[in-house]
Structure 1
Amino acid sequence: MSSTVSRFSKTAGPGILFACTAIGVSHLVQSTRAGADYGLFIVGFVILVTILKYPFFEFGSRYANSTQTSIIDGYKKLGKPALWLYFLLTISSMFFVTGAVGFVTAGFFENLFGIDFLGEWTIIILFAVCVAVLAIGKFNALDSLIKIIAIVLVVSTVAAFSLTLYNGPLVPIAGFEPKDLWDISGIFFLLALMGWMPTAVDLSSWNSLWTLERMKQTRYKPRLKETLFEFRLAYLITGILAIMFVTLGSFIFYGSGEELPNSNSLFAHEIVTLYTQTIGEWSYVFIAASAFTVMFGTIIAVFDGYSRSLQRTVELIFTKNEEKIRTKFRTLYLFFLILISGGSLVVVFQFGNNLKELVDFATVLSFVIAPVIAIFNFRLVTGKFLDTEHQPSMWLKILSVSGILFLIGFAVVFAVLKFGSI
């Protein structure tokens, strides 16, 4: 028993990082909005997309453990065009994704400390702290911080969810009319919700990079089943928490006639109030601190994931000799941290204080590019690039094909609606 726990402790990390990355905006913001606007009806879509996206995230961990290389290295095996396409897709989305997560995090920071006079400086300072933490501590700092955050998040969410179920749903006000999910605005929101539920598919490459980094950190190479168990456990918890957040939004807001605010700080206040209404007013500061901590963990992970994946992509594109990479690109990680920080700030300032528009744009963008990454990951783990013994089971392959068709189908629906409304 002790040896099993010891092996798990050496393996644990990448899945927890994934969960905390996912739980940020997709859960605190999108899942709560979904429940508040459309009620428990939306839970079915949350479960569906979480199941259909699962294989493509798992494939990142599977490929890293089986080959001892990242899945980005695998993209190069598919051909230089595939690697370049991944690079371009990452560049096209990273400023919007980081900007959206940073904007939400800044709102929770302002709510926690009651700050309303710093304005744009809040997010500038936040990004500077993220860059500094990662530049100095890198993976060790990220790994340690994220595990504490995960415990705080799970405990506080389960407590709020349990008490919400005990109190029961809000009684709708007289004359309440629910929103129509099947009009254009409803479908766009559904796409945005599924874009980051549980997170963007292109972030699957981060799983493989974090898996390799964890092996390097602990000097322990887990068996494939150990790596997959750790990831599956984290993924299951992520899915359960998504359902809890939808339920919280539905039970407390749906039918009230109120809408969640569009300002990031006011939205943060409403989310924290959502918890305290069920747990008690005494818990406001504790919940506010927990929510900010969760979002801070998410933005730290996003900075690290994008910088780490871009570094590896550039190394593979521009260097043929693996031995030259360490000396030639040793400062690249820091360069991308600064680049992402600056570009994301421009995006945030462009959207002003329009939280929902920025988040929806970033999440829909992620959903549209998802089929490409899904196909890449599927090819790498089901073809000649992976030994048969390490390939997924038949049911997982079938689920993968279903997921690809699902992602393509909704991307087409988005394109038709978007261009049809112009």
Structure 2
Amino acid sequence: MLKYPFFLYGQRYTAATGESLLAGYKRQGLAYLYTFLGINILTGIINTAGVAMLSGTLFAGYGFDGSKIPAFTIGILLICAAVILLGHYKLLDKSAKVIVVLLSLSTLVALGLAFTHGSVASADFVGSSAWTWQAFPFLVLLLGWMPAPIDLSAWSSLWMFSREEETGHFATTRETSIDFYLGYVMAAVMAVAFFALGKLIMFGSGEELASGGIGFSTQLVNLYSANIGEWSKPLILTAAFSTMFSTTMTCIDGYPRSLAASCTLVHDNFTNHFKPIFKVWIVLSVVASCLIVLYFVDNLLQLLSFAAVVSFITSPVLAYINYKVMNGSNVPIEERPGPLLKLMSWAGILFFVLMTVGFIYVTFIRV
């Protein structure tokens, strides 16, 4: 709920003004654009490496040798990069829709079956409290990627121009709102479904997720199949792998796209060279991600945790910039945030700041 306004602003700003959210950053001052560029370079490479490694780990769960995970991960990165470089937005858009439908159906089927079996936790099981300082870093980690890092708001803005190139139609404010709310509501429904699955088949099981790759994927799938049935292993594994493969492809398209768009705005000499700059950023991102994967090959959870935390502690900055841009003088008054959206925006910014300060206190100050 607290991230919702800042994702909404990405599409609404573009529909209302006809320019990208990043162009709005530049209107507020180059410092804002450079801030986004710096954050995006850091989070982009880490997040891409994290989701790609999780994809490779899940792929190894089909019965392959766990020592091959780095090779699988690098292969996935290269395949995704090739698809984007050759197929561009249209293929990405179509494949993402198919995968989302597969994930949604698989998740709902798994949830229905889990309900018939009931919770795996014993009646007298009492879990540890989330309302302690010890649990604080985990809460920040969890919130970093839920439902996504805030810098993804720039992606939806840029994708509107890609969709215009494919369809010949630039979406109106009303059309983008319908598209946005459908996606956001579906994300909320899936979040509740995953939460319910966790409560039914993981919470209270006594299992602790392994930090290594193959152990992690095997354990994750087994936690589902042990309560639903062995036959469900391929279903769960395929849903998980499809989701992460799609996410990897989205990251390899989204981060370089936003970096390239930022470069074209930073200097006039780059204005008409978006596509070559975009391709260069794809190559650089994939190479850097491959190096990170090789470094973190023995500790998947450490990489994912670090990526999620970095995404969260940058949230206050990006949230404030999005809010400032949406209230710019070039935005029609009727399209600017109303009282409720303003209240939600400031509540979100305050929440992100307090949680970030709390994380720094627990991690570096409190003994």
Matched with 2:330 is: 385
CA distance in 2, matches of 1:134, 1:113: 28
CA distance in 2, matches of 1:172, 1:278: 14
Matched with 2:99 is: 149
TM-score by length of 1: 0.82
CA distance in 1, matches of 2:196, 2:118: 10
Matched with 2:283 is: 338
- RMSD of aligned residue pairs (Cα, Å): 1.9
CA distance in 1, matches of 2:168, 2:20: 17
Matched with 1:194 is: 143
Give deviations 1:377-407, integer Å, cap 9, x for gaps. Answer: 1111123131112223321111111111111
SS of the aligned residue for 1:384 comes to: coil
Q: Is the 8 A contact 2:58 2:237 kept in 1?
A: yes
Matched with 2:64 is: 114
* 87-96 vs 297-306, greater mean Cα deviation: 87-96
1:294 pairs with 2:243: yes
1:264 deviation in Å? 2.6
Pick from 260, 268, 271 the counterpart of residue 325 of structure 1. 271
CA distance in 2, matches of 1:223, 1:330: 25
CA distance in 2, matches of 1:252, 1:279: 9
Report matched runs for 1:96-115 at 5 Å. 96-115=46-65
Pick from 43, 47, 65 the counterpart of residue 93 of structure 1. 43
Matched with 1:64 is: 14
1:191 deviation in Å? 0.4
SS of the aligned residue for 1:214 comes to: helix
Matched with 2:320 is: 375
SS of the aligned residue for 1:273 comes to: helix
Matched with 1:269 is: 218
1:307 deviation in Å? 0.8
Report matched runs for 1:233-248 at 5 Å. 233-248=182-197
Change in CA separation of 1:410 and 1:183 when aligned onto 2, cut-off 3 Å: same
SS of the aligned residue for 2:68 comes to: coil
CA distance in 2, matches of 1:395, 1:296: 37
SS of the aligned residue for 1:178 comes to: coil
1:54 pairs with 2:4: yes
1:418 deviation in Å? 2.1
1:163 pairs with 2:116: no
CA distance in 2, matches of 1:112, 1:211: 37
Give deviations 1:94-148, integer Å, cap 9, x for gaps. Answer: 2211111111111111113534342421211111111111111111110110010
CA distance in 2, matches of 1:233, 1:58: 12
Pick from 76, 84, 88 the counterpart of residue 26 of structure 2. 76
CA distance in 1, matches of 2:66, 2:141: 29
SS of the aligned residue for 1:118 comes to: helix
Percent identity, aligned pairs only?
A: 33
Give deviations 1:327-371, integer Å, cap 9, x for gaps. Answer: x34311111111111111222222232122111111111111111
Q: Is the 8 A contact 2:107 2:239 kept in 1?
A: no
1:283 deviation in Å? 3.2
Q: Is the 8 A contact 1:112 1:292 kept in 2?
A: no
1:212 pairs with 2:161: yes
Q: Is the 8 A contact 1:382 1:391 kept in 2?
A: yes
1:222 deviation in Å? 2.7
Q: Is the 8 A contact 2:213 2:297 kept in 1?
A: no
* 112-121 vs 259-268, greater mean Cα deviation: 112-121
Q: Is the 8 A contact 1:172 1:254 kept in 2?
A: no
Give deviations 1:267-310, integer Å, cap 9, x for gaps. Answer: 22233334434553223223322321111100000010001000
SS of the aligned residue for 1:331 comes to: helix
Matched with 1:258 is: 207
Pick from 405, 409, 422 the counterpart of residue 350 of structure 2. 405
Change in CA separation of 1:254 and 1:308 when aligned onto 2, cut-off 3 Å: same
Pick from 288, 306, 309 the counterpart of residue 258 of structure 2. 309
SS of the aligned residue for 1:52 comes to: coil
1:130 pairs with 2:80: yes
CA distance in 2, matches of 1:136, 1:347: 25
Change in CA separation of 1:221 and 1:370 when aligned onto 2, cut-off 3 Å: same
CA distance in 1, matches of 2:158, 2:228: 38
Q: Is the 8 A contact 2:211 2:300 kept in 1?
A: yes
Where do 5+ consecutive residues of structure 2 fail to align? Answer: none
TM-score by length of 2: 0.94
Matched with 1:351 is: 296
Change in CA separation of 1:205 and 1:77 when aligned onto 2, cut-off 3 Å: same
Give deviations 1:30-75, integer Å, cap 9, x for gaps. Answer: xxxxxxxxxxxxxxxxxxxxx0110000100101111222101110
SS of the aligned residue for 1:330 comes to: helix
SS of the aligned residue for 2:314 comes to: helix
* 349-358 vs 407-416, greater mean Cα deviation: 349-358
Q: Is the 8 A contact 2:20 2:157 kept in 1?
A: yes
